[in-house]
Amino acid sequence: MPTPPAEVAEAAPGVETLVEDPRWEGADLPGRAARAAAATLAHLGLDPASWEIAVLGCDDARIAELNATFRAKPRPTNVLSWPSEDRAPARPGAAPAAPDPADPELGDLALAFDTCAREAAAAGKPLGDHATHLIVHGILHLLGHDHETEADAARMERLEVEILGKLGLSDPYS
């Protein structure tokens, strides 16, 4: 993912966080990204120290540019993901292909502060909890999960709820 120079924080082995929008600093985006990545990877039986993920904390304007460039949707969204390779399963509801240990890079995520803060406020949730959910969601996308079919959505949501539960967060779908 192309990004301009900015301060980069190495929150944990394998998770690199670039904070473009300083409002993310109050939400401890690097720490949340590291914890969410560790919980997600461990839940799926992957050693968190063996994989690399980059996380960008930006604003709505930046994510709208990225969304326009990569998805032809010139509007802000909460999270975008760029998997390093296509790991999607051959049939709906099946498990995605496991990542190749010879290529530890899983991909990149971007989160928009404005949209995330708006959604958290509308749901009556702390911004940090909502951001953690979106990071878990994005990492599952990096690993080949999606919500394009009912079977895939059910599988992905079940994993999100299980992982968030291990992080002490409530079911975001209830």
174 pLDDT band, cuts 50/70/90, is: confident
Where residue 98 sits, what CATH number does that domain have? 3.40.390.30
In a domain, 91, yes or no: yes
In a domain, 172, yes or no: no
Q: What are phi and psi of 17, to 5 degrees?
A: -115, 125
What does the pLDDT read at residue 66? 98
Reported as a single tens digit per residue, the pLDDT across 110-126 is 999 999 999 999 999 99
Give percent of the chain with pLDDT exceeding 70. 93
* CB within 8 Å of 51: residues ≥ 6 apart: 14, 37, 41, 99, 104, 105, 106
What does the pLDDT read at residue 31? 96
Which domain range does residue 21 map to?
8-166
Total domain count, the chain: 1
13 pLDDT band, cuts 50/70/90, is: low
Transcribe 60-126 into DSSP letters.
HHHHHHHHHHHHS--S--SEEEEESS----SSTTSPPPPPPTT--EEEEEEEEHHHHHHHHHHHT--
8 Å CB contact between 48 and 106:
no
Distance CA 61, CA 14 (A): 27
What does the pLDDT read at residue 53? 98
In a domain, 48, yes or no: yes
In a domain, 85, yes or no: yes
What does the pLDDT read at residue 27? 95
User: Is the confidence at residue 147, as pLDDT, over 70?
Assistant: yes
Whole-number average pLDDT of the chain: 92
106 pLDDT band, cuts 50/70/90, is: very high
In a domain, 51, yes or no: yes
Mean local confidence (pLDDT), 52-65: 98
Instruction: Give CA 165 to chain center in angstroms.
Output: 16
Reported as a single tens digit per residue, the pLDDT across 71-89 is 999 999 999 999 999 999 9
User: Is the confidence at residue 146, as pLDDT, over 90?
Assistant: yes
For the chain, state the CA radius of gyration.
Answer: 15
In a domain, 173, yes or no: no
8 Å CB contact between 42 and 61:
no
Residue in the structure block whose two tokens are 């790991």: 87
What does the pLDDT read at residue 72? 97
Under DSSP, is residue 166 helix (H, G, I), strand (E, B) or coil?
helix
Give percent of the chain with pLDDT exceeding 90. 90
In a domain, 78, yes or no: yes
- Confirm whether pTM is higher than 0.75: yes
Strand (E) or helix (H) holding 9: strand 8-12
145 is in an annotated binding site: no
8 Å CB contact between 111 and 79:
yes
What does the pLDDT read at residue 110? 98
Burial class (CB within 10 angstroms; exposed 0-12, middle 13-18, buried 19+) of 4:
exposed
In a domain, 74, yes or no: yes
Neighbours of 3 (CB within 10 A): 15
141 is in an annotated binding site: yes
